[in-house]
Amino acid sequence: MMENNAPGRGKLKVTGIIYTVLGALSILGSLLILGAGGLLLASDNDVGLVLGAAAGVFSVLGAVSGVFYLVIGILGIRNCGRPENCGANFVLGVIVL
């Protein structure tokens, strides 16, 4: 099978790998923040309650952005050799910016 050498193929593959790794790290980090927020919620004072709730909100935001980065990275790696699919990758790149 012949390999399609689309222009910018290497750049899209490299950035796809970077976004996949960043997405996975973001999801892991949000799980750590969620655990720390749970520990703060278990405390008896009001400051722990407020900080635990804030940690929960930031954990959800981090997980959503991590999943979005993971999807962008996977699509970038999958579509790096297909020039006809570069429009979707361009739109997702603009959304990330």
Which pTM value belongs to this model?
A: 0.79
Of 66, 63, 85, 65, nearest to 76 by C-alpha is: 85
Q: Where are the domains of the chain?
A: 10-96
pLDDT tens-digit profile, the chain (97 residues): 445 666 677 888 888 899 999 999 999 999 999 999 988 888 888 888 899 999 999 999 999 999 999 999 998 888 877 777 777 777 887 888 8
CB proximity list for 17: less than 8 A, separation 6 or greater: 73, 77
